[in-house]
A and B are shown apart, each in its own frame.
Chain A
Amino acid sequence: MKRSMQIFTRPWIWSWLAAAVVFAMTLALTGADGATGLAYAALSFGSFAAIVGLGQMLVMTLGPGNVDLSIPATMTLAATLGLKVMNSEPGNAMLGLGVALLAGLLTGGMNVLLIFLLRLPPIIATLAASLVYQSVAIWSNRGLRIKPPEALADFATGRLIGVPNVAWVALVLSIIIWIVLERSLWGRWLLASGQNMRAARLAGVPVQAVRAVTYIAVALLASVAGYLLASFSGGAALNMGSEYLLMSIAVVVIGGTSVAGGFSNVPGIWGASLFMFLVVSMLNSYGAGAGLRMVLTGTIIIFIVIAASSRRGRL
């Protein structure tokens, strides 16, 4: 009894419950036949949200005022440069990944420079820098839509044991980040810095190094997401990242990570990512128009966040 109740005190449970409810409500309309198809689609599309959400989660764990708004631009730039260097030729997948990661490293490093050297607030620094990254992407792309190499496209859209390959990638990344947060010194440092930067510094934590590495990590994750998304959808588009700005923040908040900093939650990111996809497809199947869909999505997000936070308040 007590143990079964205890699960409701876990911050990630609410995003998973919400995802399950929405899943069931969709099936109630479309019939149980669509269950596997819906789950497969949710896993595929949810993976991209999960990867950028993990990065945003690390940054938001640093505490109030820390957020990376350049995620969409980094995704676009990494995907554009990656596809350009691969030039649709077979055998270039790893080269493309390397270039995408390099692009992420550069944008992340640029953000760090702006935040630390110019002492800009992260919101301003990353938002302003994202205009630059977006422009570089436009300039290098010149409107061309380069297809990913066939093998890479097959991988991105393929599956293993019934689970989309992109979901496997996202799962591996999640596990790595979970280990870093829970079992490594760097994770402790990140969580300590997010709770009280001054106290962490006085306890011997190199807080600025922790912040810098975090801002680079989020850019690397965004570049992986961009690379995979472009391979998945048959090419990079200049607006491909735009929906992931709000998405990355929403999955962090719904997933139970503390907006006040110092507390991360990896499983919650997954529940929230699935939920964000499922809620849109549910409203679609119920025939809601685009306007109503957005209003309802926003309302539902607010209620989930309230439910999750009031539970935690009672702990």
Chain B
Amino acid sequence: MENVASGNAPIVTLTDAEKHFGPVRALDGVSLSISPGECLGLVGHNGAGKSTLVNLINGGLAPSAGQITYTDALGKDTLNPMSAGVRSVFQELSLCPNLTVAENLRISHSDLKGSGWRRRAREEISAALDQVFPGHGIDAGIEVDQLSIAQRQMVEIAIGFSPRGSTARLVILDEPTSSLDAGIAEQLLDHIRTFCAAGGAVIFITHMMGEIFATASRIVVMSDGKVVADRPTTDFTRQGLVDAMGHVAANSDPETQSEKRVLTEEILRTPQGLSAHRGEIVGLSGLAGHGQAEALARLYFESTSSWRSLGSKSQMVFVAGDRGRDGVLPLWSILRNASITVLGQGKWLLDHKAEVEFGKTWKERVGIRTENIDNPILSLSGGNQQKVLFARALASDAPVVIMDDPMRGVDVGTKRDVYRMIREEAARGRTFLWYSTETAEVCECDRVFVYRNHEISAELTGDDITEDQILAASFEMQEA
């Protein structure tokens, strides 16, 4: 690791960096610099802008405004993150499952060529694995799909730290320990400390409080696209860190005080501990990707059949948040998209007139902005497509409505309409299971389950449902 500590010039410097996606300011003027030897803990709630920041630093996205400059190993300024030695390890596994461990190294290491490149790749990745995870027991010649999730994550981390023709100087780790067990995670933390002591820099994103305090030399807290705190780790206490994250500029609806009703009749309980009463709005919260969506999909699939239509006796309907994957039938009109579920509760021969009447009613009720409901569904904006999916679900008689983060990319006006409809329906005895990445939404629920690592880590009711409590349950508070 010679050359790494070439002076103390920051490896990367962001000056007022902004990133806009349409009207959304994902990153709203961030200034930050990371110097050799630093381990930066990056924390924040969902949508705080962590991923956007990381993608700007590793060159995946270009900033909408502001500047990002890098310094390479020789102390020269550059605009290229690659030549500055910036590497990223993502949480979503990005290895090619049909290639061997060594071949996966080749993908990001273009200098491996000519005869015998596989042997050199095997040596390099084995050395990197030995360095980070001593005693890992992973054969570099094995295909990735033979490996467990944890082993894949280990390979991915090792590729991030491996020399790859130059030297890794700044390694970005996005929730690297979420699939690793405690012992392996400890090895990684040790390696991060060694790496930083030798002059490397690390950006470390994690939901484990203990890990942050065990490794980070500095903690950056993000919220709503801004850096709200940037101090040495020693200046933080655990509770202080949670508080710093929690100060979201609350954009919750003022008109949403839901009177807490007395609920008695439990109509749903899963072995995993998820439960709901009649007429209750149950929120699922926690950091994104911690098993909430999977839990809801599994609940729906297990309660319904792909062989038999339950007709009017069906118990559940599903409102998709990932519209393209789970919701929209892209070749169809708005009307046909809206009516598919309710038709399944009716007769075998369709009544065209009744269907048109149904379309008119629901176009009014949910306020779909279109001249003609025979227009293709894809002619609508995302928010209006989402309204169609709400109409599809609410029009049925099913007593339980499952919502998988349905407010993604939906404008404020639509959200307000939908909140109102949900409260009305709940008052009539319908039960809602609602996964949301927006904490403000979850705070409106009657009961909240917080998920962490695909398990329920807390069940909150009544006055316990606060942003602080949810954040505290989302993050691992014990020592790693």
| Chain A residues with a Cβ under 8 A of chain B | 183-186, 188-189, 191-192, 195-196, 198-209, 258, 262-263
Contacts and interface: CB of A to CB of B under 8 A. Distances in A.
A185 to B, nearest CB: 5
A152 B151 CA distance: 69
Interface stretch (B30-38, B114-122, B342-350, B442-450): B342-350
26 contacts: A183-B350, A184-B348, A184-B350, A185-B349, A188-B340, A191-B329, A195-B330, A196-B325, A196-B329, A198-B325, A199-B325, A199-B326, A199-B328, A200-B329, A200-B340, A201-B301, A201-B306, A202-B318, A203-B318, A203-B340, A204-B304, A204-B314, A204-B340, A206-B309, A258-B331, A262-B330
Contacts of B346: 185
B341 interface: yes
Given A185-B346, A188-B336, A205-B340, A199 B320 contact: yes
Contacts of A199: 320, 325-329
B419 interface: no
A192 B340 contact: yes
Given A183-B352, A262-B330, 5 more contacts: A185-B343, A195-B332, A209-B306, A209-B307, A209-B308
Interface of B: 297, 300-301, 304-309, 314, 317-318, 320, 325-332, 336, 340-341, 343-344, 346-350, 352, 392, 396
B331 A195 contact: yes
A137 B349 CA distance: 38
Given A196-B328, A199-B327, A204-B314, A188 B307 contact: no
A262 B341 CA distance: 17
A209 B309 CA distance: 9
Given A189-B344, A202-B320, A207 B350 contact: no
Q: Is the interface of B mostly helix, strand, loop or mixed?
A: loop
A258 B346 CA distance: 28
Nearest to B347: A185
Nearest to A201: B306
Contact of A188 (B297, B326, B350): B350
B433 to A, nearest CB: 14
Contacts of A183: 349-350, 352
Contacts of B396: 204
A86 to B, nearest CB: 34
A204 B340 CA distance: 8
Contacts of A202: 297, 300, 318, 320, 326-327
B327 A262 contact: no
Contacts of A185: 343-344, 346-350
Contacts of B307: 206, 208-209
A263 B344 contact: no
Contacts of B300: 202
Contacts of A204: 304, 309, 314, 317, 340-341, 344, 396
Given A195-B331, A199-B327, A199-B328, A206 B348 contact: no
A205 B308 CA distance: 8
A174 B458 CA distance: 58
A203 B314 CA distance: 11
A111 B341 CA distance: 29
B346 to A, nearest CB: 7
A195 B325 contact: no
A200 to B, nearest CB: 7
A202 B300 CA distance: 8
A186 B346 CA distance: 11
A208 B306 contact: yes
B398 to A, nearest CB: 8
B344 to A, nearest CB: 5
Contacts of A201: 301, 306
B202 to A, nearest CB: 38
B281 to A, nearest CB: 20
A61 to B, nearest CB: 11
Nearest to B402: A202
Nearest to A195: B329
Given A185-B348, A188-B336, A262-B329, A203 B306 contact: no
A11 to B, nearest CB: 12
Contact of B341 (A203, A207, A258, A263): A203
A200 B191 CA distance: 47
B390 to A, nearest CB: 13
B434 to A, nearest CB: 16
A205 B348 contact: no
A120 to B, nearest CB: 18
Nearest to B404: A202
Contacts of A206: 305-309
A263 B392 CA distance: 21
Contacts of A205: 309, 340, 344
B349 A184 contact: yes
A258 B340 CA distance: 20
B308 A192 contact: no
A37 B350 CA distance: 41
Nearest to B389: A203
Contacts of B332: 191-192, 195
Smallest CB-CB A-B distances: 7 pairs: A208-B306, A202-B318, A195-B329, A206-B309, A204-B341, A209-B307, A262-B331
Contacts of B325: 196, 198-199
A204 B307 CA distance: 10
A186 B350 CA distance: 10
A137 to B, nearest CB: 31
Contacts of B314: 204
A201 B316 CA distance: 12
Given A192-B340, A204-B317, A198 B306 contact: no
Nearest to B300: A202
Contacts of B344: 185, 189, 203-205
Contacts of A200: 329, 340
A260 to B, nearest CB: 9
* Interface core residue of B308, B317, B332 (most chain A CB under 10 Å): B332
B446 to A, nearest CB: 25
A208 B304 CA distance: 12
Nearest to A183: B350
B343 A188 contact: yes
A185 B306 CA distance: 15
A208 B2 CA distance: 61
Contacts of A209: 306-309
A202 B341 CA distance: 9
B24 to A, nearest CB: 25
B348 A186 contact: yes
A57 to B, nearest CB: 15
A203 B392 contact: yes
